[in-house]
Amino acid sequence: MLCISIIERLPSIFSCCALSKSTNMYKRERKGDTIVNRVSPFYVAMHPEEAAGDRSCRLPCIRRELPVAGPVGAAVKEEMHRKVVEMMKQMTGKQSIQFDRAPHIIGFSSVVGKKEGEGPLANAFDLICSDDRFGEDNWEKSESTMQNEAMKAALQHAGLCPAQVRYLFGGDLLGQLIATSFGMENLDIPLFGLYGACSTCGESLSLAAMAVAGGYADYAAAITSSHFASAEKQFRFPLGYGNQRPLAATWTVTGSGAFILAEKGGHARVTGITTGKVVDFGVKDSLNMGACMAPAACDTIYQNLMDFNRQPDAYDKIITGDLGYVGQTILIDLLKEKGFDITKVHMDCGIEIYDRETQDTHSGGSGCGCSAVTLAAMVLPKIRKGVWKRVLFVPTGALLSTVSFNEGQSVPGIAHAVVIEHC
C-alpha cells in the first residue's frame, strides 16, 4: 500500500535533521514508495536508503504513516482539510479566538522598583529593588537587568531552564526594543520582538498562547517591562529638568512581568483572546494617556463581549492595563453608550499599583510594566486560588513616538484582550 510519510511534530524536524541546501531540495518528487515534499525543509521526509548521504537525519524524526487512495495523496489532503477546519472552528466572531486546547500559565514573576515596593501591592511582588538602577550605570541597562531577573524567576517558578522554551515574545517602550534585546540576549531563546506600547503584555501573551495552542511550542514565554526614568528620558523630559505634571498624567511603572505558557500544568489558562485595532479619537495630549487609550479599550472590550456572546458579569473582573482614574471614567461612559455597564466588574492596574494620595501619582500608573506586574502579583494568584474564575485582561497602549508627537500628530490607542480562567 502506498503511504505518504509526514512529520508528526514540526518542532522536532528543525533540531534533528541535517538538510541539504542544494536547489533540488525545493522540489516535490516521488522516490520509491515515498513522496518527498521539498518545498520547505520543515516538511522533508527523508527516504530510508538516503540516510547515509548528505541529506541524512542524524536523529530520528517522528513520522505518521497515512494511507492514500491514489498517487495524488487524497488522504493527506483530507487530513490537512480536517486540520484547517478544526483550526477555523477556534475563530470566534469578528476578531477573537477561543482555544480548543487552552494553554496554561505555569510560571510567572514580577520585579519592581522602589516606588512600586512602597505601594499597595508591595507584599505580592517577587522582587523589589531598593535601587532603581539595579546595579547598572544607566537607566536602559537597568531595565534590561530587571527583565532578565523577571524571566529567570518565571522560569524557576515553572521548573524550566531557558533551553526548554521554544519561543519568547517580548518588548518594551524603548527605541528598537533595546531593553528586551539586551535583557534577553544571554538566555539564548528564539525571540519575537514586539511593540504594542503599554499593551505589549496582552500582545505577547496572545501570541505565546497561539504558539502553544497551535502546537508550535511546548513552552512559550512572554515578557515586557517599563522603567520610569528610561521612559521619561525618551518620551518626555530629562529627570533633572524637574517639570510639573498635570493631574491627568500617570506615573510610568518601573517593573517587569514574565510568564511561561505550556500545554498543561498550573491552575490558570488562557481560554481566548480578542486582538485589538488601532483606534484614534484625535487626542494630542501625550500627558493624558487615559484619554488616548480609553476608546481603544472600549472597542476591544465591546468586541470581546460580542464575539463571545457574553455580558460583563460573565467575568469576575474586566481588568484594563493603565487607563488610570481619568481613563476609567471615559471607558465606562463609552461602553454605556454601546449598551454595556462594566462599573461593577471593572478594575485598572494603574489604579491598583499605587496609592495616589500618599505617592503623588496623580491619575495612576502606566507603562508596559504596569499591567504585567499587576497580572503576575495580584491577578494570577487570585485566579490560581479560584477566587476569580474568569477575568478579561485588557492591557492598553498609546501608539506615539517622539517623532509623531513632535510633528503634532494625534495619539492613537490599542488594546489586546486575554481571557484567563481558573482550572
Residues 125 and 64 in one domain: no
Residues 6+ apart with CB under 8 A from 125: 110, 111, 112, 116, 117, 255, 373, 377
Cβ-defined contacts of 397-406 (< 8 Å, 24+): 397/196, 397/197, 397/198, 397/199, 397/200, 397/293, 397/296, 397/321, 398/197, 398/198, 398/286, 398/289, 398/292, 398/293, 399/197, 399/278, 400/197, 400/235, 400/286, 400/292, 402/234, 402/235, 405/235, 405/286
DSSP state of 17: B
C-alpha cell at 158: 515553572
Q: Which three cell numbers stand for residue 223?
A: 515578557
User: In b/e form, how buried is each residue of 160-188, taking b as 16+ CB within 10 angstroms?
Assistant: beeeebbbbbbbbbbeebebbbbbbeebe
Sorted by sequence, the CB contacts under 8 Å of residue 323 that are 6+ apart come out as: 289, 290, 293, 294, 297, 330, 331, 348, 350, 364, 396
pLDDT value at position 246?
59
pLDDT of residue 10: 35
Q: Tell whether 126 and 231 lie within a shared domain.
A: yes
| Relative orientation angle of helices 324-337 and 289-307, to the nearest 10 degrees | 40
Q: Which residue has the cell 488594546?
A: 415
95 is a domain residue = no
Domain of residue 259: give its range.
101-422
**CATH for 270:** 3.40.47.40
Q: Is the residue at 225 inside a domain?
A: yes
Evaluate whether residue 91 is within a structural domain: no
Task: Determine, yes or no, domain membership for 93.
Answer: no
177 and 62 assigned to the same domain: no
Total domains, the chain: 2
What Å distances lie between residue 139 and 116, 231, 384, CA to CA? Answer: 17, 9, 34
Secondary structure of residue 4 in the 3-state scheme: strand
Domain membership flag for residue 94: no
Q: What is the pLDDT of residue 242?
A: 59
Clarify whether residues 142 and 233 are in a common domain: yes
Same domain, 392 and 336: yes
Residue count of the chain, please give it: 423
Among the three residues 57, 86, 115, which one is the final residue of a domain in this structure?
86
Kindly state the helix (H) or strand (E) to which residue 419 belongs, with its residue range: strand 417-422
Closest residue by Cα to residue 147 from 163, 121, 129:
129
Residues 215 and 303 in one domain: yes
Whether residues 274 and 398 fall in one domain: yes
pTM: 0.79
In order along its 423 residues, the chain shows pLDDT tens digits of 333 333 333 333 333 333 333 333 333 444 444 444 443 333 334 333 333 443 333 333 444 444 545 555 677 777 776 766 666 679 999 999 999 999 999 999 999 999 999 999 999 999 999 888 888 888 799 999 999 999 999 999 999 999 999 999 999 988 889 899 999 999 999 999 999 999 999 999 999 999 999 999 999 999 999 998 777 766 666 655 556 665 667 778 999 999 999 999 989 999 999 999 999 988 888 778 889 999 999 999 999 999 999 999 999 999 999 999 999 999 999 999 999 999 999 999 999 999 988 998 888 888 999 999 999 999 999 999 999 999 999 999 999 887 887 788 999 999 999 999 999
CA angle 142, 143, 148 (to 5 degrees): 100
Look up residue 155 and give its DSSP letter. Answer: H
Residue 171 lies in a domain: yes
Residues 41 and 106 in one domain: no
Q: Is residue 92 part of a domain?
A: no
**Residues 226 and 372 grouped into a single domain:** yes
Do residues 54 and 46 lie in contact, with contact meaning Cβ atoms separated by under 8 Å? no
Q: Is residue 17 part of a domain?
A: yes
Which of 86, 119, 135 is where one domain is finished? Answer: 86
54 & 146 share domain: no
* Same domain (yes/no): 126, 202: yes
Are 412 and 327 within one domain? Answer: yes
Beta carbons within 10 angstroms of residue 17's beta carbon: 20
Supply φ then ψ for residue 34, to 5 degrees. Answer: -125, 130
Asked if residue 125 lies in contact with residue 108, where contact means CB atoms within 8 angstroms, the answer is no
Q: Which of 86, 117, 135 corresponds to the end of one domain?
A: 86
Residues forming beta bridges with residue 422, ordered by sequence position: 268
